[in-house]
Amino acid sequence: MVMRIQGLKYDENNWIHRQVRLAAITVVAIAAFVAAWHVASVLADTPTVPSPGRTLDALINFYSYGDWSSGTQRTMFELIGSSMITFAKGFALALVVAVPLGLALGYFKIAREFTNPIIEVLRPIAPIAWAPIFIIILGSATGAMLVVFIGIFFPLLTNVIFGVRKIEANLLDASKTLGASQFQVFYKVIMPYTAPYLMNGVKVGLGVGWMCIVAAEMCAGTLVGVGKYLYDMAYSGNWPKAYAALVLIGVLGLLTIGVSDYVHRWVSRRMGMDA
């Protein structure tokens, strides 16, 4: 494809050219979306569909004055921080449980066969479906955290199991002929081999987990966070602020996935895969 930027011919093999091209396309796409949204809000002409401009105002307002809805003032960053902490706890718990379990289930066939039916029944349940149960039994904070845990746990578990099972027999053979004990084979060969698969699980899990935290907060009575804020604003008919929260959630999710995607690629490269 030939594109001219300031008299320059587009060169697919030039990194800067590729980045500029992608950035230009991205800006145009976002502008087109915002324009379409604006037109839709004008045509709809109802308070439930605020224009992008009013949404941006609400976002700036939220940023400047925080959230007053609960009676006490909370800054935007306190709400984000609160969501992030619940999110991080669920993530940490999922990591601590899913990684050893995945390694064990990948390694021991009988354990995998034994747990497989249970996992396959639990896995398709939407994580948010657990919210009412967890939140009612364990309270808002722990309940929401566990919803995030569920969301991250399964992608992590299945990816780790997959990684362990994919290991090439030859690598195991090679390490054995080099004198590695069973335990050394496990932690010097199987575990590093699995690392990129684990990171893929993390990447998928963080995306799912972020969806979970926002949804779980809505079911949680006493929790504060951006998801809860979105719910409160929509409930009280403050549509621009509800939409602003939606935009914020999207951007934060994008950042989360962006970071984990970067880490995933870094680990894969580091581990000599996918280079």
Partner 1 sequence: MTEDQTAIDVSEKAFAETVDSGSPGDGAHIAIRGLRKVFKRDKKETVALDDFSLDIRRGELVTLVGPSGCGKTTILKLIAGLIEPTSGEVLIGGRPCLRPGPDRGMVFQDFALFHWRSVRKNVEFGLEVAGVPRGDRRAEAERYIKLVGLEKFIDSRVYELSGGMKQRVGIARSLVTHPDVLLMDEPFGSLDAQTRNIMQVQLLKVLDETDQTIVFVTHSVDEAVFLSDRIIVLTKRPARIKEVIEVPWPKPRDRAAPEFTALRKRILSELEAENVMEG
188: contact with partner 1 by CB under 8 A: yes
> What region does 11 belong to: left with phi over 0, alpha with psi -120 to 50, or beta?
beta
Alpha-helical segments (H) within 45-168: 52-65, 76-107, 109-122, 131-138, 140-166
Q: Does 35 bind partner 1 (CB under 8 A)?
A: no
Span interacting with partner 1, options 45-53, 76-84, 136-144, 176-184, rule CB under 8 A: 176-184
Enumerate helices (H) and strands (E) in the chain, giving the number of each: 11, 2
How far is the C-alpha of 44 from the C-alpha of 188, rounded, in Å? 61
* Closer residue to partner 1 (CB): 11 or 173: 173
Number of residues near partner 1 (by CB under 8 A):
23
Other Cβ atoms within 10 Å of 166 Cβ, number? 11
Q: Does 113 bind partner 1 (CB under 8 A)?
A: no
Q: Nearest approach, Cβ of 273 to partner 1 (angstroms)?
A: 7
Q: Is 266 in the site for partner 1 (CB under 8 A)?
A: no
The 8-class DSSP code of residue 125 comes to S
Question: Which of 39, 137, 171, 255 lies at the binding interface for partner 1 (CB under 8 A)?
Answer: 171
Segment near partner 1 (CB under 8 A), from 41-49, 82-90, 179-187, 246-254?
179-187
- Identified binder of partner 1 from the candidate list 21, 74, 112, 176, rule CB under 8 A: 176
CA neighbours within 13 Å on the CB side: how many for 225? 28
Contact flag: residue 166 with partner 1 (CB under 8 A):
no
What backbone torsions phi and psi does residue 132 show, to the nearest 5 degrees? -60, -40
The interface mask with partner 1, positions 123-162, x = CB under 8 A, is ----------------------------------------
Q: Are 144 and 87 in contact (CB under 8 A)?
A: no
Closer residue to partner 1 (CB): 146 or 185: 185
193 touching partner 1, by CB under 8 A: yes
How many C-beta atoms lie closer than 10 Å to residue 54's C-beta? 17
How many residues are given for the chain? Answer: 275
Judged by the rule CB under 8 A, the positions of this chain that interact with partner 1 are 168, 170-171, 173-181, 184, 188-189, 192-193, 195, 270-273, 275
